[in-house]
Amino acid sequence: MNFLLEPLTYQFMQRGLLASVIVGVLCAVMGTYVVLRGMAFLGDAMAHAILPGVAIAYIFKGDLLIGAGVAAIAVALIIGLFSKGGAVKEDTAIGIMFAAALSLGVALISTMQTYAVDLSHILFGNVLGVSPSDLWLIGGLSFAILLTVGLLFKPFLVISFDPVLAATLRLPAELLRNLMLVLLALTVVVSLQTVGVSLAAAMLVTPAATAYLLTRRLLPMMLVSAVVGALSSIIGLYLSYYFNIVSGSAIVLTATLFFLLAFLWKRFRGA
Amino acid sequence: MTHTPHRLEVENASIGYGEKIIMRDLSFQVPHGARVAVVGPNGAGKSTLFKALVGILPLQSGRILIHGESLGTHKDCVAYIPQREDVDWRFPVTVSDVVMMGRFGQMGWLNRASKMDKQLVRKSMEQMGIADLAERSIGQLSGGQQQRAFLARAIAQEPHILLMDEPFTGVDVTTQETTLNLLDHLRDQHVTAIVSTHDLNLAASRFDLVLLLNHKLIAFGTPQEVFVKENLSQAFGNSLLVMENGMMLVDECCPPDEQFAHHEHTEAK
């Protein structure tokens, strides 16, 4: 018991744990759409695309989350613009933005004095550096995103499963798709602090893919995904504390272990 | 249903993708409750017309009126059986989830399903003979069962107009029979059914009206009026073979995504 409680005597650990669990659940729920709609590449690109925003905010001593948020939404909308009406395929548009934003971000960061440390925090997260105001922002944004997903559960289900039905029901499919991109962008921004840019994509995909193997309806899939995301965050953080591993890596590796177990379970059950 | 007149009107509609016009200056009127077969050679624009009727493809010119009001004013009075490739079969939904989607338009996006919604879903599944599959994943079903699940959804939607794109191709006999029975049942309920098919015999025997297309309207009327030599040769061109005893043979290969070719024919009047 002491083994579990000891880390929690530190306030930064309490905040870190709370932030990771919130982010774990949020990524897992949004990840359900990422997995089902085949947006894994987009999620990855989005995560890297916020780098220039973070860098600019850092240089001008602004709030990193706000910088990241502006960059992420800009990138989501630019991708939508490039691929609208089939000018170029969506994955091509994503590829272009992904590479351009990552390069710009690294270029900006390389002008800083403390290049190496800052880059590693941005890339892999710094969960133990979560301040009380960060926690409020993470909590507030996550609540808003999850509430939106809850309210739009049925429209999102229809545009994902059967776009033609969405058209006959007169759903504003284009608007909903863009909204989903914005929600995804915000999710990536929120996960910046805990797992970092390069591992956010894994937190979007891995718990949701695990849940996909274990369930056969959308709502259960989301719930199982959320549980896997939360457990991975908790276990990962304890591993990070006791074995002195980077927290983002520990969380993602735990989630990957859950995926492997689900995969093997499904394989040997013959289902 | 207090709207008058009860009908579907297409007026001078031109439909296409960007510069490319696939259907030119199409006009026809369907009285309420009629069963219309849409026939024509491959690539004649049948699916394009359906997409316009659903509202996915905007008209280049002209207009489509349902009950005298333009397309889009009604929320969900048009139900559509999607083509196989439009649906993600690996999506985690059960058969009853799919059928329940038919109720979404009427229950409101924020409300939970009412008792009536659930009853309607169950009744629709029973009518299509898939009630015992209700809790199965949609991806586990056979092609015919999947089509019946979507038909059940269309019934649950309580539409005024039902559109079906090639429901008789590539499905088992049970599904064909269930689909035909459904057409009879829909007529009793005054639901207009518009069905595209390659099977000219079926079009002649089971439908009130036939819409013969080849990038434009060739003929529209009862099967007896439409299936005459002039119309068919205009629509099918060289694929039409007229025999000495008056029998006509349409040699038409299936759409490209189908595996084996077959022939369809019809008797001349």
A86 in reach of chain B (CB within 8 A): no
Residue B31 lies in a domain: yes
- What tens digit of pLDDT does each residue of B133-183 get? 999 999 999 888 998 999 999 999 888 889 998 888 878 888 888 888 888
Residue B263 lies in a domain: no
| Identity of residue A101 | A
- What tens digit of pLDDT does each residue of A108-154 get? 888 877 666 667 777 777 888 888 888 998 999 999 999 999 999 99
Residue B38 lies in a domain: yes
The Cα of A125 is separated from the nearest Cα of chain B by a number of Å equal to 32
- What tens digit of pLDDT does each residue of B33-72 get? 889 999 988 888 888 898 888 888 888 888 888 877 777 6
Q: Which residue has the higher pLDDT, A206 or A178?
A: A206
pLDDT of residue B76: 61
As a whole number of angstroms, the distance between CA A7 and CA A2 comes to 9
Reply yes or no on whether the pLDDT at B233 is more than 70: yes
pLDDT of residue B259: 36
Reply yes or no on whether the pLDDT at B24 is more than 60: yes
Residue B218 neighbours by CB distance under 10 Å: 20
Q: Which residue has the higher pLDDT, A262 or B264?
A: A262
> Which residues, including other chains, have CB under 8 Å from residue B113's CB and lie 6 or more apart?
B100, B103, B107, B121
**Closest residue of chain A to B84, computed from CA coordinates:** A162
Chain B partners within 8 Å of A158 (Cβ): 101, 104
Nearest to A217 among B97, B101, B105 (CB): B97
ipTM score assigned to the predicted complex: 0.81
Chain A partners within 8 Å of B97 (Cβ): 217-218
Residue A269 lies in a domain: no
Reply yes or no on whether the pLDDT at B263 is more than 50: no
Residue B57 lies in a domain: yes
- Residue A103 is part of which domain span? 2-264
Strand B59-66 relative to strand B192-196: parallel, antiparallel, unpaired? Answer: unpaired
Reply yes or no on whether the pLDDT at A237 is more than 60: yes
The Cα of A161 is separated from the nearest Cα of chain B by a number of Å equal to 6
Q: Are A169 and B104 inside 8 Å of each other by CB?
A: yes
Q: Are A164 and B80 inside 8 Å of each other by CB?
A: yes
Confidence band (pLDDT; 50, 70, 90) for B99? very high
Residue B252 lies in a domain: no
Across A16-25, average pLDDT: 93
The Cα of A26 is separated from the nearest Cα of chain B by a number of Å equal to 20
Residue B267 lies in a domain: no
* Most confident option among A141-155, A193-207, B41-55, B254-268: A141-155
- pTM (whole model) above 0.90: no
Query: What is the dihedral sign for C-alpha B90, B92, B94, B97?
Result: negative
> Which residues, including other chains, have CB under 8 Å from residue B6's CB and lie 6 or more apart?
B31, B32, B33, B67, B160, B190
pLDDT of residue A95: 84
Q: Are B54 and A169 inside 8 Å of each other by CB?
A: no
As a whole number of angstroms, the distance between CA B140 and CA B142 comes to 7
pLDDT of residue A148: 96
CB B157 within 8 A of CB B150: no
Confidence band (pLDDT; 50, 70, 90) for B6? low
Residue A89 lies in a domain: yes
Residue A258 lies in a domain: yes
Nearest to B82 among A154, A155, A164 (CB): A164
Residue A270 lies in a domain: no
Q: Are A164 and B88 inside 8 Å of each other by CB?
A: no
Nearest to B80 among A155, A168, A170 (CB): A168
- Residue A50 CA: distances (Å) to CA of A31, A114, A179, B122: 18, 19, 17, 48
Give the number of domains in chain A: 1
Q: Which of A242, A150, A252 is nearest to A191 (CA)?
A: A252
Q: Are B94 and A212 inside 8 Å of each other by CB?
A: no
- What tens digit of pLDDT does each residue of A47-77 get? 778 888 888 887 887 777 788 888 878 887 7
Reply yes or no on whether the pLDDT at A205 is more than 70: yes
Reply yes or no on whether the pLDDT at A225 is more than 90: yes
Q: Which of A58, A30, A169 is nearest to B154 (CA)?
A: A169
Q: Domain with B202 in it: what CATH number?
A: 3.40.50.300
Chain B partners within 8 Å of A221 (Cβ): 92
Give the number of domains in chain B: 1
Chain B partners within 8 Å of A155 (Cβ): 109
Residue B249 lies in a domain: no
Q: Domain with A34 in it: what CATH number?
A: 1.10.3470.10
pLDDT of residue B152: 93
Q: Pick the range with the lowest mean pLDDT from A9-18, A30-39, A124-133, B238-247.
A: B238-247
φ, ψ for residue B199, nearest 5 deg: -90, 100
Task: Find which of A168, A214, A219 to mutate to test the B interface (most B CBs within 10 Å of its CB).
Answer: A168
**Closest residue of chain A to B17, computed from CA coordinates:** A85
Hey, what long-range contacts does B56-62 have (CB within 8 A, 24 or more apart)? B56/A163, B56/A164, B56/A167, B57/B15, B57/B17, B59/B13, B59/B14, B59/B15, B60/B14, B60/B15, B60/B16, B60/B21, B61/B12, B61/B13, B61/B14, B62/B10, B62/B11, B62/B12, B62/B13, B62/B14, B62/B25, B62/B26, B62/B27
Q: Are B86 and A164 inside 8 Å of each other by CB?
A: yes
Reply yes or no on whether the pLDDT at B267 is more than 50: no
Residue B9 neighbours by CB distance under 10 Å: 17
Residue A271 lies in a domain: no
Reply yes or no on whether the pLDDT at B264 is more than 50: no
Residue B242 lies in a domain: no
A157 in reach of chain B (CB within 8 A): yes
pLDDT of residue B115: 92
pLDDT of residue B75: 63
Reply yes or no on whether the pLDDT at A228 is more than 90: yes
The Cα of A38 is separated from the nearest Cα of chain B by a number of Å equal to 11
Residue with tokens 């007169």: A170
- Residue B21 is part of which domain span? 7-237
pLDDT of residue A220: 96
- pLDDT, chain B, mean: 82
A163 in reach of chain B (CB within 8 A): yes
| Identity of residue B69 | E
Confidence band (pLDDT; 50, 70, 90) for A209? very high
Task: Find which of A162, A174, A213, A218 to mutate to test the B interface (most B CBs within 10 Å of its CB).
Answer: A162
Provide Rg for chain A, Cα atoms: 19
